[in-house]
Structure 1
Amino acid sequence: MRLRETLAVGGIASICAAAPAQAVITNFSVDVETSIDMGLDWLEIQGFFGNPGMHCAGQGFGDGIGLVALALLEKRANANLNALTVGYSGSTVQNQARIDLLMPYVIARASPVMGMYAYRDGADLMALSIYNQTGGPDAVGSLAAINATVDRVAVNQDAQG
């Protein structure tokens, strides 16, 4: 019995004394970070961030604006798989400027006259939530947009969900 207790205590001690988590950078995580940056740069070259509203109507980017904002807000600080997402307050100045151009459009289209569209509304809600929680400057507008979009989605749910 004494041996079993000693082994149990030793096992617990070795687990507790394990080294803290190290940075995990893999080829995959580097590829993901690079791909996100390349996609955002491509949108920049297309003039998307110069006037997202114009591009929304003219080139079909409109329903994807929430996803673009989400990509910016959920970027990790680096390619480390354990790195935290940067949100609004941790974004680079360039990415904050990009977010500042996108979010007024997302906030404005939370209007009930837009009608419910699950893919757009879902992406918008994710972007609005992270923007609101991570220091986005229009906290009042984003919270109102969250409430309006949730109300619009809830009206379209039935007994099956």
Structure 2
Amino acid sequence: AVARFRRMAGWRVLHPIGWDAFGLPAENAALARGVAPAAWTRQNIDHMREQLLSLGVSFDWEREVATCDPEYYKWTQWLFVRMLRAGLAHQQEATVNWDPVDGTVLANEQVDPEGKSWRSGAPVERKRLKQWFIRTTALADALADDLASLPE
């Protein structure tokens, strides 16, 4: 609604649409139905796009992205490799929330107050695993300083 309002007022509005299409829930749903995860994901994206178009939502469909698209994730990989080479990405052991049913790490927000997984409902285990970390604080000043160089 805000994007449409601003467009009608003459503003140039960037309003892309994106599909976060990598994930264990989508993979599990596809496998439970005997469908390849890539096909399942594309089918669901197509269906959701049709629904949004029928509602007349004013997304900029020319800028649609999906995280499962090689044209998208090649850039996340490119960025990660550069952070790794610059010493901004590293691995170390850390204690994580482990869902033993789904066999995956959960963010703190994915563990309910009773200590159960939001996905499977299983009691979450605390486990030490090697994880990737990004040294975002090493970039904080440079990022803040560079904001001044952006056009208004």
> Which TM-score band (shorter chain)?
under 0.3
Report which of the two has the higher share of helix: 1
Report the TM-score when normalising by structure 1.
0.20
Report which of the two has the higher share of strand: 2
Report the TM-score when normalising by structure 2.
0.21
